[in-house]
A and B are shown apart, each in its own frame.
Chain A
Amino acid sequence: MTGPGSVAGESGQHEARSAPAGARFAVGDRVRVKDDWPERRGPCHIRTPHYLRGRDGRVEAVLGAFPNPEDLAFARPAPVRTLYHVLFEQPPIWQEGEPGDTALVEIFEHWLEPATPERKAA
């Protein structure tokens, strides 16, 4: 069941709706990717890589707002969500790699929460 004006077709899917006026996070904000695993609860379509769940990163850019692919994939009405470019330190993810190397990944707002302060001063 497709709601009116939701999923028009290929042309509608990728057009950024310039609505990040309501963006929750700003460039430079420390964020945490939710440690959530919807794939364990049933069929789903998610764009948040498994290796980033629960990881802290920093907002590099606010890319715009796009219809939520988690709904698009099932032809459901897809509300737009703000999309961020989030930068992660790479070595902590895999417990290997070279310090200073990073991963830059598109993450939708509903997958992000504010990162809690560092647990202890270094």
Chain B
Amino acid sequence: MSAPARAASVARLEKLLAALMAKGLVTEAELAEMQARTDRASPEIGARMVARAWLDPAWRARLVASGSECAEAMGVSMAGAPPLGVLEDRPGLHHLVVCTLCSCYPRAVLGYPPSWYKSFEYRSRAIRDPRGVLAEWGTTLPPGTKIRVVDSTADYRWMVLPMRPEGTEGWSEDQLAALVTRDALVGVALPVLPMAAAAE
């Protein structure tokens, strides 16, 4: 959890909002709608998109071609949101997402970014020492796997499509989606079976 906002920051934000509204650049209703949309978004949306891709090759192809289109198909309004790109892990290749410049994050399908994602430590280390970062996370990649760090610097927002864990044959979409955590969608973790996690 992030620390409570400082009074000075809150006061500055209120002044900024008052100025924007006085200029007619934004309305109270627009702000409320934007906040509501972000509040509604959660990693469960991204997890469901991934679970569906594990079950349906046609959906996977569509997801990799256009994350935005698939988000819309799942009822997420992408109007005004940055395009969503989906990074497909495959045997031998693992993606890790960072925004070294600020904290760009696919909020439409993952919700609010965790505070560590916005930290200077993560932003500076993920790009330079991704293996060190994953090790600290307790994430072990299969031997021989290369890491591709995706620095989210411009107009896209990126989500990882991890590989389906072994031992999930015959699982339903709900069961599979429950394995896909927010951290797995950023690439700092892998989807793991509850029992495998417990055994470690």
Contact = CB atoms under 8 A, between A and B. Distances in A.
Interface of A: 9-11, 13-14, 16, 47-49, 51, 63-64, 66, 69, 83, 87, 90, 93-94, 96-98, 100-108
A116 B67 CA distance: 35
A30 to B, nearest CB: 18
A105 B80 contact: no
A111 B151 CA distance: 16
B7 interface: no
Nearest to B87: A104
B155 A16 contact: yes
A105 B131 CA distance: 18
A95 B95 CA distance: 21
A97 B129 contact: yes
Interface of B: 25, 79-83, 85, 87, 95, 100-101, 127-131, 146-156
Given A51-B127, A94-B128, A101-B130, A108 B154 contact: yes
B155 A49 contact: no
A16 B146 CA distance: 30
A103 B149 contact: yes
Contact of B149 (A11, A13, A14, A90): A90
13 contacts: A9-B25, A49-B127, A49-B153, A63-B85, A87-B148, A90-B130, A97-B128, A98-B131, A101-B131, A101-B146, A101-B147, A102-B146, A104-B148
